[in-house]
Structure 1
Amino acid sequence: MVMYLNMLRTCEGYNEIIFPHCACDSRRKGHVITAISITHFKLHACTEEGQLENQVIAFEWDEMQRWDTDEEGMAFCFEYARGEKKPRWVKIFTPYFNYMHECFERVFCELKWRKENIFQMARSQQRDVAT
């Protein structure tokens, strides 16, 4: 069973939430398919009918500055910053805007847990070495 789970975890799309195509203010024509996982947040360009195109933008979680929902516009909004560039807001128009927000919150919660666990393990190892 462990071997099966380890193999499964290497499959593309494992533990990734993919949302139906929807409009996005960063594209003049066409839509995006949004994918959220613990490793990244992706916007895959597609036509208004949902036909995939070649452009994919993958954001690392440490690039995310802020995120929120626009209840009136039924949109999920996020601000990201890359390198020395000025931070930029992006709006994704989807009926699943609240769920996207919950996914973001959960990813950041789990990333925080991982970070805290790493620090706890390091402290534990330091104590073991000292004794």
Structure 2
Amino acid sequence: MREKLLETLRNLASREYQQKAWINHNYPAGVLYDSFDEAVHFLFDDTILAENTNAAIGVILENEKEARLIAAVCTAIEQVFEVHGTEMSDEEYINSSKWANVVEAASLALQVITNEQISSSV
């Protein structure tokens, strides 16, 4: 589950990936399908991350810092949905005024979580 979280964060943090995979359907090797919807399902439906991030500590997340960062990603996505609803295409979401907040939150979370993993394995 943690690896899936990191993959989801990488995808949400990369506008280049979003353009290539989600819009142009040019998926990386080994990926048959991907979309913004996949990220939403992982964070909001398949895990407790969006509902109660702290409950994922010790299961998917390592500490409260990670929980706060993932909560910020989920909040940024929720704000996109509050403004634009849940029926837009990936391209429309990516080009929306609130999308930069999603990318920034995911980038920060990814950076902190991967740096913590590197430093704890040294």
Larger Rg: 1
Higher normalized helix content (fraction of residues): 2
With a CA cutoff of 8 Å and minimum separation of 6, indicate the structure with the bigger relative contact order: 2
Same fold (TM over 0.5): no
What is the TM-score of this pair, normalised by structure 1? Answer: 0.29
